[in-house]
Structure 1
Amino acid sequence: MVRYKQASTKDELEQILLLQQENLPINLSFQEQSKEGFVTVEHSMEILKEMNDECGHIIALDNEKVIGYALCMHPKFGESIEVLKPMFAEINKILLGKSNYMVMGQICVAKSHRGKGVFRKLYLTMKKCLPLGIDKIITEVDEKNQRSLMAHEVIGFKNLAVYQSGNTTWRLIVL
């Protein structure tokens, strides 16, 4: 039975990083990336823990093994990860400096548990666990990651903007 909660131990954070590694483009074939999707950012334990201390990451556990996660990234971390700086700049242009949102910094479900509602339940749990005053979840998805774009659309995410950063076209979306 899969259960959902906020990450609270070093072991859970380490398991997030292991699942992340399995789903980085460098560890997937082009066919796997196209069919299954991928994650873009590789987090260090230090930044993952700092983010978790601010607002606990949402995890899905099956027999105490992390089989899915949705990272909570408070806007104060906007300058902490280089590849995400353009996203925060876009958000600030649209929201004009308002901070009543949480960024979902990355979501991933283990291949063994895809198509079973884990993705949706991670977001439902995240919505319940957000700090008081936060009324939006914002994230971005690489336009090449069609599986992720479709999954986000199905649960109600709407487009905020499309922008280019480096060689990547990003879709900025909000729930």
Structure 2
Amino acid sequence: MSGAADFHIAAFAPDGALEGRGTRNVADLSEKWIGFCRSLIDANGLVFDRLLTTSLAHIGIKCSGIHDAALVTISVHDRTQTTFALIRSDSKSATQVLAMFVDSVRRNASRQQLAPAAAPFGEMLGIEERPLMALVIWCDPAISDQDNDLVRELGLHFAAAFFAL
């Protein structure tokens, strides 16, 4: 896919602990699904909150973005499954979006009364690699394994589409 680049991933547990880091090779992703995600962005811009259609109608995507960064939430049957920040550069605006994301997930972890790490999600602010997908999977037991897998793939393909803009 033209314009697509590999991106870095940092996954965090709901309590704020860093679970792992890696790099995602965009060439290993489905061009069809990247195109689907790109069509969502093309049709809705970088700010939208919508349900998908047909067999995916139980999946919702909320995106609040600017050119350099976006905050995304994917839900299943109105239950948040994952939230992530897509950070394209080290611009001031992208850095501010990442800081807003950290504040948001800290508040959510506090509301859920999770036993937070010493400085929950603090390591997220120190990650220098770009482009970056920093994500939290909220581990809702009401969401099926099949839907968890679907949301994981959708999130990766959405990130690839965003970074290819």
TM over 0.5: no
Higher RCO (Cα < 8 Å, 6 or more apart): 2
Given the two structures, how large is their TM-score scaled by the length of structure 1? 0.30
